[in-house]
């Protein structure tokens, strides 16, 4: 069953953010675009490459009014230790949510129960708390922050211009489509 259109349910989690521990809740994400970026575990191999890529592109997400929340089943204490130990992770400016009970991973249907870890799941959530796009990868397949940013931009555009849709490879400023009978079979 698809998660598109599903509303994020109430949650409360601790995050490592800005050198401090902060609580993140459903109310924290409402009113802005959010990206939940699940990954298997701290101190691993592919994960720091992805989180570093997000950190390098974080300002672009903020320009779009989107907040990134990286999430693993580690605790927020482990996130801090990882930031202290790794130059790549230390440059992260977005909240790193600890999900040691797997509650968020289960809510987003990315929990690997037998391992206690999350799959690589990326979820774009509207300001109303509704999942608008998602992608789930096997643990060995890393993601691309620039492509994720393009998807956030497309979700925002469609949300703001309900009569238009974004074709393949659409980027801001490119031509969009207005679905109509006249387009059927012509593209």
Structural domain containing residue 133: 12-144
**Within-domain flag for 27:** yes
Q: How many domains does the chain have?
A: 1
Q: Is 84 a domain residue? A: yes
Task: List the one residue out of 61, 62, 39 whose CA is nearest residue 50.
Answer: 39
The pLDDT of residue 185: 74
Q: Note whether residue 35 is domain-resident.
A: yes
CATH classification of the domain holding 117: 3.40.30.10
Q: Which of 13, 15, 24, 47 is catalytic?
A: 47
The pLDDT-based confidence of 186 (bands split at 50, 70, 90) is low
Is residue 47 part of the annotated active site? The answer reads: yes
- In the predicted structure, residue 134 carries a pLDDT above the cut 80: yes
pLDDT of residue 94: 98
174 is a domain residue = no
Q: pLDDT digit string (tens) for 62-113?
A: 999 999 999 999 999 999 999 999 999 999 999 999 999 999 999 999 999 9
State the Cα–Cα distance between residues 42 and 79, nearest whole angstrom. Answer: 7
pTM of the model: 0.94
């Amino acid at each position: 069953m698809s998660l598109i259109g599903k509303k994020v349910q109430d949650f409360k989690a601790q995050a490592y953010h800005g050198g401090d521990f902060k609580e993140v809740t459903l109310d924290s994400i409402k009113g802005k675009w959010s990206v939940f970026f699940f990954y298997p575990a701290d101190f691993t191999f592919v994960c720091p490459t992805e989180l570093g890529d997000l950190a390098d592109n974080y300002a672009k997400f903020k320009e779009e009014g989107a907040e990134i929340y990286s999430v693993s089943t580690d605790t927020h204490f482990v996130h801090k230790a990882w930031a202290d130990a790794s130059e790549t992770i230390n440059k992260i400016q977005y909240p790193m949510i600890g999900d040691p009970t797997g509650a968020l991973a289960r809510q987003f249907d990315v929990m690997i129960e037998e391992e206690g870890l999350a799959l690589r799941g990326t979820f774009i959530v509207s300001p109303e708390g509704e999942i608008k796009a998602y992608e789930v990868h096997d643990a060995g397949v890393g993601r691309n922050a620039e492509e994720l940013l393009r998807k956030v931009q497309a979700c925002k555009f469609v949300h703001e211009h309900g009569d238009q849709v974004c074709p393949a490879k659409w980027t801001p400023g490119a031509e969009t489509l207005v679905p109509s009978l006249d387009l059927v079979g012509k593209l």
